[in-house]
Structure 1
Amino acid sequence: MRSPIATGGLIAVAAAFILVFLSAYTVTPRDYALPLRFGEPLPAKIEPGLYWKWPFIENVEYINKQVLDLDSTPQEIIASDQKRLKVDAFARYRVKDPLRFYQTSRSEKGAELQLSSILSSAVRRVLGQATFAAVVRDQRANLMEKIRSDVNREADGLGIDVVDVRIRGADLPDANSQAVYKRMQSQRQTEAQQIRSQGTQNAQIIRSDADRQVAKILGEARGKASATIGEADSAKAKILADAYGKDPEFAQFYLSTRSYVETTKPANTQVVVSPDWDYYRYLRSPAAPGPGPSTGAPAPAAPSASAPSQ
């Protein structure tokens, strides 16, 4: 059985351990530690490390020292040129004075409620003095910096430092957007119709010019062809005349045989003539017995084709 002295020693050690455990606290690099004595804040512990407090008298509130995000509700703003904008902005902030932060906001939720109101007012005030084009395109970065500066000035009493403000979106309201889209669509359709009309007109001009060139080329070709045919016919007639003059009998024979071929072209042609007819004398004998045409006389006329004899 243990002695009372040993038991008391154990109790004292346990009590000391509990007192040390309740008296010690640590501060991490991510937080501030704010000791509270009977609910009243004391100077904050900023540097990381091990600290002590009075047990049962003091407790410690931890405040995040990292950069935090703040989202605001999208709001409609009328720009200086009377155009409506639907703006969605957000901010990033951090606590720079934990004691003042605790005294004014108590928690991150309370700070965000106050900071959100300040951000919305600054966004409405700064963007309301700018034009639609400046917000959407031309001076967006400068406007965001001006909003950050205004928010920082108003949030200084909260122990907060706003490190960045961004405009996530700045668009026309839905009703205005639809009207703008329809107007743009109508303008594009008008431009497309004008381009198609101009293209049709240009195509007609090109076709007309092509048709005119085709007609000119065909006319010139026909003229050259007619001239060539005329020259050929003239040369042919001259050749035939020269040949006829050199050997009239052969020429008569040649012309007669050509005439025979032309008159008997149709199939099953039957011609009833007298066998002594002078037209067919070359069919009887190449020597052309019987009376023949005088020298230089043309070949006899070919008989007209008659219907087949019964």
Structure 2
Amino acid sequence: MTVVQTLRGNKLALGAAVAALFVIFSSIVVVPESQQAVVLRLGEPVRVINRFRPGVDFGRTGAGVVLRVPLLEEVVRIDKRVLSLEMDSQQVISSDQRRLEVDAYARYRIIDPVKMVRTAGSVERVGDQLQPILTSVLRQELGSNTFASLLTPERGEAMAHIREGLDRQARDYGAQVIDVRIKKADLPPGALESAFAQMRAAREQEATTIRAQGQKNAYLITADAEARAARIYADSFGKDPGFYDFYRAMKSYDATFANPETRGGSTIILSPQNEYLKQFKGN
């Protein structure tokens, strides 16, 4: 064997060793706990590694070193953690025709990686698909609520409806929407003072209506009480004429003596034998 043949044989052996190492390292895939992976064979999903499964213990997820067939199989990595979807600031018109500047965001995760790969291809494209859906659902829901309701506990119910609507469409991409929140819902610059003035006018009108209703009820109650008192007095007077004389005298005394303004500040001098004072004598 010549030196040239020896060198050629060594090169072939070295090349074979390098190829073998390349095949071995290409076959090894490390999937961390924070990721799940879909193995594609000629573009078709064949298995899922470390798939998200609620309730499964952290140490039993299937993460770690796995093998694949080089050149035939491709590994698509998918984040297993909760992801954030930020919505650009949008103008939304509420049911009371208030134009609002709304900033919102959503939290979601991939629960069906195979469906995600088939429909979207990547996590980034899932976010691109969900963003206009979030905007549309948010516009529709907030458009059916008043501006004032967004400042009260009713806002939580509206956000629940938005999350449910977004989640229904996110399932088509293998995703689950966990939560939707509004970071800011403000009136455009210059419209805040007008909104407060209209809200104040509405509350004043409501207060006026309540006061008017209260006065009406007071008049009805007073009239009913006076009518009942009149019936009681009439029954009493009919049963005891002496009581009627006494009652009429007391009313007269009250009008004459109890309020000096009724007699213009003048002094009244009467004899104890005066007929007007007979009730004081018990006659």
Q: Any idea what SS the aligned residue of 1:135 has?
A: helix
**Matched letter for residue 176 of structure 1:** A
Determine if the alignment matches structure 1 residue 137 to structure 2 residue 162: no
Aligned residues: 185
Where does residue 17 of structure 1 map in the other structure? Answer: 21
| Counterparts of 1:71 and 1:98, CA distance in 2 | 22
- Displacement, 1:51? 1.3
| Counterparts of 2:165 and 2:142, CA distance in 1 | 12
Determine if the alignment matches structure 1 residue 157 to structure 2 residue 161: no
Assess, with a 3 A threshold, how the Cα gap between structure 1 residues 58 and 81 changes in structure 2: closer, same or farther: same
Where does residue 250 of structure 2 map in the other structure? Answer: none
Q: Any idea what SS the aligned residue of 1:149 has?
A: helix
| Counterparts of 1:9 and 1:77, CA distance in 2 | 70
Where does residue 106 of structure 2 map in the other structure? Answer: 91
Q: Any idea what SS the aligned residue of 1:44 has?
A: strand
Query: Which of 114, 119, 123 pairs up with 1:104?
Result: 119
Assess, with a 3 A threshold, how the Cα gap between structure 1 residues 17 and 130 changes in structure 2: closer, same or farther: same
- Displacement, 1:70? 0.9
| Counterparts of 1:51 and 1:178, CA distance in 2 | 63
Q: Any idea what SS the aligned residue of 2:100 has?
A: strand
Gaps of 5+ in 1: 188-310
Q: Any idea what SS the aligned residue of 2:152 has?
A: helix
1:272-287 aligned within 5 A: none
- Displacement, 1:7? 7.3
Where does residue 55 of structure 1 map in the other structure? Answer: 70
Assess, with a 3 A threshold, how the Cα gap between structure 1 residues 4 and 85 changes in structure 2: closer, same or farther: closer
Determine if the alignment matches structure 1 residue 43 to structure 2 residue 47: yes
Where does residue 168 of structure 1 map in the other structure? Answer: 183
Rg larger for: 1
**Matched letter for residue 109 of structure 1:** E
Gaps of 5+ in 2: 51-61, 202-283
**Matched letter for residue 156 of structure 1:** R
Query: Which of 137, 140, 145 pairs up with 1:125?
Result: 140
Assess, with a 3 A threshold, how the Cα gap between structure 1 residues 178 and 109 changes in structure 2: closer, same or farther: farther
| Counterparts of 1:106 and 1:79, CA distance in 2 | 36
| Counterparts of 2:29 and 2:167, CA distance in 1 | 33
Where does residue 27 of structure 1 map in the other structure? Answer: 31
**Matched letter for residue 111 of structure 2:** K
What percent of counterpart residues are identical?
A: 36
| Counterparts of 2:123 and 2:7, CA distance in 1 | 54
**Matched letter for residue 96 of structure 1:** I
1:263-302 aligned within 5 A: none
Q: Any idea what SS the aligned residue of 1:42 has?
A: strand
Q: Could you list the per-position Cα deviations for residues 15-64 of structure 1 after superposition, in whole angstroms to 9, with x for gaps in the alignment?
A: 33222111111111111112222233322212202211111222211111
| Counterparts of 2:117 and 2:80, CA distance in 1 | 13
